[in-house]
Amino acid sequence: MRRIVLVAIVAAGIFGPASRSEAAITIAAGAGDVSSSGSGDNQTAALVPADAQVISLGDHQYPDGCLDAFNANYQNSWGAFKSRTRPAIG
């Protein structure tokens, strides 16, 4: 939970308003291991607000990093946020 809060605070600075005259609030959600067959991907994806920017924190597919396995699992869970996902390096 602390990690998610920290990510949200950091992301607020990254995705926040460009100037003080803007009153927009940006919500960010972040997670890792988002395509790891049967380990809660759908449950965690269900917690993401509809208007949130998504930060992908890495280690996406276990045990072997196979692209086909990643695509199959990601599309059914966190893939719903693909257009607004900002992946982390590494």
Whether 1 shows a pLDDT value over 80: the answer reads no
**pLDDT tens digits, one per residue of 57-70:** 877 777 777 888 88
Per-residue pLDDT band for 54 (boundaries 50, 70, 90) equals very high
Integer Cα distance of 81 and 53 in angstroms: 8
Residues contacting residue 48 through CB under 8 Å, at least 6 positions apart:
29, 54, 81
Q: Which of 45, 3, 9, 1 is nearest to 28 (CA)?
A: 9
The C-alpha atoms of residue 31 and residue 17 are separated, in whole angstroms, by 23
pLDDT band of 16, cuts 50, 70, 90: low
